[in-house]
Amino acid sequence: MARYIFITGGVVSSLGKGLASAALGALLQARGYSVRLRKLDPYLNVDPGTMSPFEHGEVFVTDDGAETDLDLGHYERFTGVSARKTDSISSGRIYSNVLEKERRGDYLGKTIQVIPHVTNEIKDFLRIGEDEVDFMLCEIGGTVGDIEGLPFFEAIRQFIHERPRGQCILMHLTLLPYLAASGELKTKPTQHSVKELQSIGLAPDVLVCRSEHPIPEKERAKIALFCNVRPESVIPAYDLKTIYEAPLAYHREGLDQAVLDAFGIAPAPRPNLARWEDVMDRLTHAEGEVRVAIVGKYTQLEDAYKSIAEALTHGGMANRTRVKAEWIDSEIFEREDPAPHLERFQAILVPGGFGERGTEGKIRAAQYAREKGLPYLGICLGMQMAVIEAARNLAGMTDAGSEEFDHEAGAKRFTPVVYHLKEWVQGNHKVERKVGDDKGGTMRLGAYNASLKDGSNVARVYGATEIEERHRHRYEVDIRYKDKLESCGLIFSGMSPDGRLPEIVEVKDHPWFIGVQFHPELKSKPFAPHPLFADFVRAAVEVSRLV
């Protein structure tokens, strides 16, 4: 049966609970243990799938088709363990499940209350797969004291109380603010945060204290005394140059040892950190630099493209090259010539997105890359924009566009080379969708297979002709235009196994121009860079050498 580590946060949000959880998972793996990481979010959305990227950053998609918080991306990148639907839950999903059971009569006419019905639903979620791993790490979103988080904290209190002693611990992240006027680190916010936890029946076993300044031993001892933890369980968390330094940094500060001591595991296996030492060596000893333009419309919030940014970093590590990614608002290209903005870059990436805003600028970015011979990677909508660009400028279909934009505008303006996907095959059954369906969870989601064309550039990149990648879209390139576009030099080099859905396009006689309907960035890891990103950066390096 798994040991449980509950990770909570206090004082302020965005302290790095997700990163600390992921780094701890990596350290436990380095000691030979198996781990699974989970996220419990207090918001009332059923999942983040319908949230704006400006609200919550990117949506991370699992192989089995769950739309989840971006922290699950951190978990996968640091541990290599593929996340599942059962690794993410929100208050909205919990309440939805409870209300469905009430409507079915499962509660036999009882009055439905937060305790026990909501808390039992949370505990049932925590128990899923508990016999599969050595450690289950469960991160609770938000901060202690948030009203919407109280049912989760109560459920955890009950869960810990019901388990055998020593099977669960609590790790709490807090902030130690520095007051420049007095030149002091202040411990009171941490003390109050722990006091808030204790008031709801929870006591931390390990405290991780985020600080911009070194924490003196005197302050650590003070925190330990007033927060009722051992001094060696007060772990400093300092700002890092790269998130991939986190496992080594936390190990230096004794986080993994403090956790194992809290469980009474002694002697503990020694960690093998060679994987993370190699990651840091590749990051800190880069032999060159390339500049990649990411042309999108959520550029004000980099978390909207979090996995893409990390996958580019991984691609750079594979080539021992530093990737300098710059975010360019695609709407600029609807008013201005792209050339002055893009000529200083060695490669262009157009990511996914929804809606018509900024798409004409993305089309112009794809045209610039195609005509100038610059490496181009189009992801999801970025592939569709490349197809529309080729249809307009190579196949003479000047009114080519996407049905998505006509649906949004409520008027037919385009010849739809991209259409609303109404049915597809998932496993052994057919999925059907209508334009008017609810938005949440109705896209083509999760892992699907694709067959690659022998001799194509993308088959060379993958070193295979059968692949599996994660999808998140409801519009698809129309296969009816395949022959016309291929006769103009746009090759459909990847298709769904039944040959009905285009998965990959590439431009013939171009150094590197690939568009993919799926999201390869979701499967990239620092110790296993995705082949598309690794080869994309390699092609950018070639361009940099020619300049």
19 marked among binding-site residues: yes
Specify whether 138 is catalytic: no
Annotated binding-site residue? 437: no
User: Is the distance from CB of 488 to CB of 390 less than 8 angstroms?
Assistant: yes
What are phi and psi for residue 413, nearest 5 degrees? -125, -20
Measured CA to CA, the distance from residue 359 to residue 427 in angstroms comes to: 33
As a whole number of angstroms, the distance between CA 72 and CA 88 comes to 8
- Concatenated DSSP letters of 294-320: EEES-TT-GGGGHHHHHHHHHHHHHTT
Residue 357 half-sphere exposure toward CB, CA atoms < 13 A? 5
DSSP string of 375-423, one letter each residue: -EEEETHHHHHHHHHHHHHTS--TTEEEHHHHHHHTS--SEEEEEE--E
Asked whether residue 190 is marked as a ligand-binding residue, the answer is yes
> Residue 257, annotated ligand binder?
no
Q: Which of 341, 380, 403, 471 is flagged as catalytic?
A: 380
Which of 117, 172, 473, 519 is labelled catalytic?
A: 519
Task: Please provide residue 153's backbone torsions phi and psi, each rounded to the nearest 5 degrees.
Answer: -65, -40
Is the separation of the CB atoms in 485 and 426 below 8 Å?
Answer: no
Q: What does each C-alpha distance from 494 to 298, 420, 458, 522 come to in angstroms?
A: 28, 20, 8, 19
Is 251 a residue of the active site?
no
Element (H, E) at 503: strand 502-507
353 is in an annotated binding site: yes
**Tokens 């948030």, residue located:** 146
| Angle made by CA atoms 470, 472, 473, in degrees to the nearest 5 | 135
Strand-pair partners of 169: 5
- Does the annotation flag 62 for ligand binding? no
* Tokens at 242, concatenated: 């790269």
Q: Is 474 annotated as a binding residue?
A: yes
Which residues are CB-contacts of 295 (< 8 A; sequence separation ≥ 6)? Answer: 328, 330, 333, 348, 349, 350, 361, 362, 365
* Residue 188 marked in a binding site: yes
Strands in 415-420's sheet, in edge-to-edge order, are 400-402, 415-420, 475-477
For the chain, the maximum distance between any two Cα atoms, rounded to a whole number of angstroms, is 75
On whether 94 is known to bind a ligand per the annotation, the reply is: no
Strand partners, 525: 528
Q: Which DSSP symbol is given to 108?
A: T
18 assigned ligand-binding residue: yes
Catalytic (active site) residue 530: no
Is 13 known to sit in a ligand binding site? yes
Whether residue 418 contacts residue 389, with contact meaning beta carbons closer than 8 Å, is answered with no
* 412 vs 219: CA distance, rounded Å: 66
Cα–Cα distances in angstroms (integers) from residue 32 to residues 70, 228, 271, in the given order? 26, 30, 8
Please confirm whether the linkage preceding 267 is cis (ω < 30° from 0).
Answer: yes
Please check if 383 is assigned to a binding site: yes
Separation between Cα atoms, residue 541 and residue 33, nearest integer Å: 38
Q: Is 146 annotated as a binding residue?
A: yes
Q: How far is residue 374's CA from residue 370's CA, in Å, rounded to a whole number?
A: 7
Is 222 part of any known ligand binding site? yes
170 is in an annotated binding site: no
139 annotated as belonging to a binding site for a ligand = yes
The annotation status of 403 as a binding-site residue, yes or no, is no
- Single out the catalytic residue among 253, 473, 521, 530: 521
Q: Which helix (H) or strand (E) holds 345?
A: none
Residues annotated as catalytic are 380, 519, 521
User: Which residues sit in the known binding site for CTP?
Assistant: 13, 146-148, 186-191, 222
User: Which residues sit in the known binding site for ATP?
Assistant: 14-19, 71, 240
User: Which residues sit in the known binding site for UTP?
Assistant: 13, 186-191, 222
User: Which residues sit in the known binding site?
Assistant: 13-19, 71, 139, 146-148, 186-191, 222, 240, 353, 381-384, 404, 474
